Amino acid sequence: MKKLTAFLAACLILAGAASAAENISVYIDGNILNTAREPYLEGDRTMVPMRSIFEALGCDVEWNEAAQSVTSKKGGRVIIMSIDSKVMYVDGGAVELDVPPRLVSDTTFVPLRAVSEALGCGVTWSDDTNSVFIVTSAESEIPMYDKYEAVPDFGQIVGVTPNPVLDDGKIYCYENAPSDAAEKYARVMRSLGFSAFDAGEYVIYTKDNISVLAGSRGGIFRIVITNY
């Protein structure tokens, strides 16, 4: 009876994985994560191939076949997870998971949000695009403009102060922006799910009825935020 129950549970997991593979896209700092197997949803949790996500986030990965467990190491952070166990160990401390790691057709899948957040990353989900956006630890706490809490603060991200701020916080002008400022801001914006349209000197980012024009002209980088 126990073997039959385990078999039926495995079938349900496989069926759920197949039915929930809805072309989920995963982005890390604006770059798409390519995986050997497609991510799937179990409940409302995105499951991704173990090695793909850990290595993309800069971890060393060790698989223990006998214990059916994975150990991931990055810097001083150590994460241990086991197949079908809802307990994840982060630096020796136990963390309860909503969904445990699963073994599906010889591939180990792990819950994306739990793994990413354990490594200090920020994670957001977009219903509109069926996408997960991960921002790595260097940018996990992204500052936002005070009056537009959904728009990343360009100045704080690249380390420059606006001068002046115009039109009640809708227009920001920055001098002496770093040479890679536009590229870095673009990466952050994409990581948060903004769509980008290249308009030459400027890039127009859109999301949730907000339009953000960002670009440099005459040595001044400008951010213009409008509702549309």
40: DSSP letter = E
Phi, psi of 22 (to 5 degrees): -110, 45
Spatial contact of 59 and 74, defined as CB atoms under 8 Å apart: yes
Order of strands across the sheet that contains 220-227: 162-166, 171-175, 220-227, 210-217, 202-207, 195-198
| DSSP-based three-state secondary structure for 116 | helix
Task: Please report the domains of the chain, with CATH numbers, ordered by start residue.
Answer: 21-138 (3.30.457.10), 142-227 (3.30.310)
Alpha carbons 137 and 20: distance in angstroms, whole number: 29
Alpha carbons 66 and 26: distance in angstroms, whole number: 30
How many CB atoms neighbour CB 79 within 10 A? 22
pLDDT 10s digit of each residue in the chain, 228 long? 444 444 344 444 444 444 444 689 898 877 889 998 999 999 889 999 999 999 999 999 999 999 999 999 998 899 999 999 999 999 999 999 999 999 999 999 999 999 999 998 888 887 777 888 888 855 556 788 988 888 999 998 888 998 878 767 789 999 988 888 888 888 888 878 888 899 888 999 998 889 999 999 888 999 999 987
* CA nearest neighbour of 50 among 7, 59, 41, 91: 59
